[in-house]
Chain A
C-alpha cells in the first residue's frame, strides 16, 4: 500500500511539475499511429462491450456529455458538455432535459437533431430489431421514455430518481447514433458527428480515420488522421512501439513485466501504470453439485490468498479489492480495514485455510479423498496464469482442480449456458459508479450477470443506493452490498488489474484516465509535436 501511495504522490508531483512548464502551442497536422491488439468484432460501440471497439470508434462520435478528457479521475464533477450545451433536472429528479448544440452535422452532411438522440436510446431500450446485441440494456432500465420537444431539446423520463444517471451518458460507451444509418452500416461503416471520419477497416491489417474538416468544435481536431495497425503478436507490437513505429500503445497493453522492457528500450517513452477497472474474479456455478452447498463455496473463499496471486501475476502491482475499484483511484471501494473483515480477505491466510479445511472435512473430503473439479478459463494468458495459481491454492483445502482451457471465442456462451463448475473470469467495468458495476454484474435481471447470482435482498439494496443522493450514505449502502456479496460468494473479486499505456514524447495533450479505460479516446485535442 505504501508503495502505491508513493506512486500516486510521485505522479501528482510529476503532474505539478509539468503544469509549471509553459504550454506549447498546438500544432495542426500529422497522423497519429496506434497499434491495435486484435481484430475488433465490429465498429458499433452500442453492440459491443470491449475496449477493442470503443478505443478506435470513440473518435468517430460525440456524446451528449462526456467525462473530461483531461482529468484523470472520472466522476460526476468531471462531466463536461458535448452535444448537449446544458442539462437540467425537474424538481423530483425524474426528468433530465438536454439542450442540444445547434448546427451540428453528421459526417454525411445531414443535420443532427433531437430525433437522433431518441433513436439512439431506442436502441438501448431494445426497440430497434436490426441491432444484434444490446449489452448495456441494464444501464438504462430506469429510463421510461425519451421525449423530443423540438430539434434541439430532448427529455429523458425516469421511473425514479437516479443520482448516477448523468454519468452513464458520459461514458465512451454512450455515443449518439444517427437515425438515418442502418445498424449494419454502423457495425461496418459508422457515421458520427465526431472529430474523425471513418475511412476503412481491413481485418488483420488496420483501421483508418481522417480529420472531420466540418467538425462543429471549431479548430479541432488537431490531427489529420488516426491510423491503427492490427498486430496480434504482443512481442512484435511492443518491438514496433520501441522502434518508434507507433505514437501510442493500445490501452493498458503493457503489462507489469513488459513495462521494464519498454522503459529500458525506449527511455523517452511516457508510460503510466493505472488501474484498468478490469477485475479477475472467481465464478462458481451454484447450480452444479457440490457447489450448490454454500459451505463449499465459503471454504473456497477462505482458501484464496489474493496477495500471493497478485505478487506472482503482477509483481505486487495489482490491487486487492472488493467489488468496487479500491481507492485511491476508485471512488467507491471499501476502506482496507473494512475489506479485511470480509470472508477470505484476512491477512492470516493460514488461519483461514485451516477453517476452510475443517469445513471440507465436515463434508467428507480429505487429502486422500479430494474433491475433483475442472477449473475452466478462457485461453488467454491473463486468464490462464491466475487460474493455475488458483488451482494450487485450492489444493490446500482438498480440492483437486484440473485446468480446462476454453477457446476464447466460446467462453461467454459456455458460461452463460452454465456449462462449468468453477471458473476464472475477467470483467471490465465501463464507469466507476456502483450503478454500472452492481446492476451489470450482480442484479437478478442483468443479462451480463454471468453466474446468474440472484438475491432479492441484494437487488433491493442496489436499488436503494442508486436512489440515494447523499454520497456518504450511498457509499455505506454500497459497502453493505459488498458485504452481502462476499457472504454469498457472488463472483468474488481476486484482484483489480493495473497495466501501463505508453506514448512517445511527441504526442501532446494526452491524458490517461486512472479509474477506467473506456472513456478517454475522443482524441480531438491531442496533437503531434513533430
Chain B
C-alpha cells in the first residue's frame, strides 16, 4: 500500500506538471492578448503604448522564461499580479473559492440526499407506479439545462414572492447564506441527483439479482437490511465514482449557475479571466481546479478500499 501511495503521489505531480504546461501553452494560443483587451475598452490600439504595457507585464520575454517565472513563483506561493485589476492574484482568487466550495458542497449534499435513497426506492419498487414517476423525474433532471431551471426559479420567486435570490457579497448570517445558496444549489443538485439516482437504480437492480441477496433473504434478513446493508453497500461503488467526478466538476463547472444567480464564485471568475486573457488568474485557477480533480480522484480510489474490503492496492 505504501509503495502504491508513493506511486500515486508521483503520478499526481506528473499530471499537474503536464497540466501546467498545457494550460500555459493553450492560453497563449488563444487569439488576442491582454494588451489588445486593455485597449479594447478605449476603442483603439496604439502600438507604442501597447509595447510599453507588454514590457510592464513581462510579456515581451521568451515564453520559456515566462513559464519558469510562473512556476517558480507558484512554488514559493507567489501567484503574481492580476493583469486587469492590478492586484495580487491570490487576493482575487482566494475569496472566491469558499463561495464556490459552499455552493458545490450544498449541491452535492442535495444530490446524495435525494439521489441515493430515491435510486434505491426506484430499484426496489421496480416497474411500479412510484418507479415510473421517479424515472420521469430523474429523466427531466438530466434533460433540463440548469440555466433554464435557474431562470425558471428566479422568475417564480419574483412572480410569487416579489423577491429574487441573488447572492449578496456579505449575507447577514450563516442561515441567510445557506438560504441564498440553497436555491442555486437545488438547481444544480437536481441534475446531479438525477444522475446519481439513475446510477444507483441500475447498480442496485444488478446487485439485487445476485445469489448472495437471495441467500440473505433465505436467512430471514429483513427487507431493509437486505436493501441497505447488503445490496446498497455493493451497489454504491460506481455511485461513489460518479459523486467524486461530480464534486470535481462542480468546482469549475458551475459557470452557468453562477452567472444566472450572480454568484461571485470561481467558475464565473475563471470565464471572465479567460475573456480578459488575464494569464496569472487563469493559470493559477486552472491549476487549483486540476489539484482538486486529482485529489478527488485519489480520495475516491481510497474510498473504494474503505467500502469494499476485497479491493487492495499494490498487491
Q: Which of A133, A242, A427 contacts B39 (CB 8 A)?
A: A133
Assess A50 versus B41: contact at CB under 8 Å? Given A41-B84, A205-B169, A205-B264. Answer: yes
A184 to B37, CA, bound (A): 17
Assess A236 versus B31: contact at CB under 8 Å? Given A48-B41, A135-B43, A448-B43. Answer: no
CB distance from A251 to the nearest CB of B (A): 16
Please, which residues of chain B bring their CB within 8 A of the CB of A150?
none
CB of B49 within 8 A of CB of A133, answer yes
- Interface membership of B6, Cβ < 8 A: no
- Interface membership of A235, Cβ < 8 A: yes
Binds B, one of A216-224, A318-326, A411-419, A487-495: A411-419
- Interface membership of B38, Cβ < 8 A: yes
CB of B158 within 8 A of CB of A184, answer no
CB of B262 within 8 A of CB of A236, answer yes
CB of A409 within 8 A of CB of B275, answer yes
Assess A447 versus B44: contact at CB under 8 Å? Given A236-B154, A239-B155, A245-B166. Answer: yes
Residue of A nearest to B41 (CB): A41
CB of A239 within 8 A of CB of B158, answer yes
By CB atoms of chain A within 10 A, which of B32, B44, B157, B261 has the most? Answer: B44
A42 to B43, CA, bound (A): 14
CB distance from B150 to the nearest CB of A (A): 9
Q: Which of A235, A240, A408, A412 contacts B45 (CB 8 A)?
A: A412
By CB atoms of chain B within 10 A, which of A49, A205, A240 has the most? Answer: A205
- Interface membership of B301, Cβ < 8 A: no
By CB atoms of chain B within 10 A, which of A206, A242, A410, A448 has the most? Answer: A410
Residue of B nearest to A40 (CB): B41
A454 to B259, CA, bound (A): 43
Contact digits for A169-189, partner B, Cβ 8 Å, 1 yes 0 no: 000000000000000100110
Assess A188 versus B39: contact at CB under 8 Å? Given A203-B92, A239-B155. Answer: no
Please, which residues of chain A bring their CB within 8 A of the CB of B36?
409-410, 412-413
CB of A413 within 8 A of CB of B45, answer yes
CB distance from A139 to the nearest CB of B (A): 13
CB distance from B36 to the nearest CB of A (A): 4
Assess A243 versus B162: contact at CB under 8 Å? Given A188-B85, A188-B86, A416-B45. Answer: yes
CB of A239 within 8 A of CB of B164, answer yes
CB distance from A31 to the nearest CB of B (A): 13
CB of A413 within 8 A of CB of B40, answer yes
Please, which residues of chain A bring their CB within 8 A of the CB of B268?
204
Interface residues on A, range: 35 or more
CB of B41 within 8 A of CB of A49, answer yes
- Interface membership of A232, Cβ < 8 A: yes
CB of A244 within 8 A of CB of B162, answer yes
- Interface membership of A407, Cβ < 8 A: yes
Contact digits for B237-272, partner A, Cβ 8 Å, 1 yes 0 no: 000000000000000000000011110100011001
- Interface membership of A231, Cβ < 8 A: yes
CB of A413 within 8 A of CB of B39, answer yes
Please, which residues of chain B bring their CB within 8 A of the CB of A184?
86
A530 to B151, CA, bound (A): 30
CB distance from B154 to the nearest CB of A (A): 5
- Interface membership of B279, Cβ < 8 A: no
Contact digits for B267-304, partner A, Cβ 8 Å, 1 yes 0 no: 01100100111000000000000000000000000000
CB of B86 within 8 A of CB of A187, answer yes
CB of A409 within 8 A of CB of B269, answer no
Assess A412 versus B269: contact at CB under 8 Å? Given A132-B49, A243-B162, A407-B32. Answer: no
CB of A240 within 8 A of CB of B44, answer no
Please, which residues of chain B bring their CB within 8 A of the CB of A413?
32, 36-37, 39-40, 45
By CB atoms of chain B within 10 A, which of A50, A265, A407 has the most? Answer: A407
CB of B260 within 8 A of CB of A236, answer yes
Residue of A nearest to B37 (CB): A409
In the complex, which residues 50-88 of chain B have their Cβ closer than 8 Å to any Cβ of chain A?
52-53, 84-87
CB distance from A450 to the nearest CB of B (A): 7
Assess A202 versus B32: contact at CB under 8 Å? Given A447-B46, A448-B44. Answer: no
In the complex, which residues 174-195 of chain B have their Cβ closer than 8 Å to any Cβ of chain A?
none
The 4 lowest CB-CB distance pairs between A and B, nearest first, are A410-B32, A413-B36, A41-B41, A135-B42
> What are 27 pairs between A and B in contact, CB < 8 Å?
A41-B40, A49-B43, A132-B38, A132-B53, A133-B42, A133-B49, A188-B86, A202-B95, A203-B92, A204-B96, A206-B169, A236-B154, A240-B166, A242-B158, A243-B158, A265-B158, A409-B32, A409-B36, A409-B37, A409-B40, A409-B276, A410-B36, A410-B37, A410-B40, A412-B40, A416-B45, A427-B43
Inter-chain pairs besides A41-B84, A236-B262, A243-B164, 19 sampled, C-beta below 8 Å: A39-B272, A42-B41, A129-B52, A206-B169, A231-B262, A232-B262, A239-B154, A239-B158, A240-B164, A242-B158, A245-B164, A407-B31, A409-B32, A409-B36, A412-B42, A413-B36, A413-B45, A447-B46, A448-B44
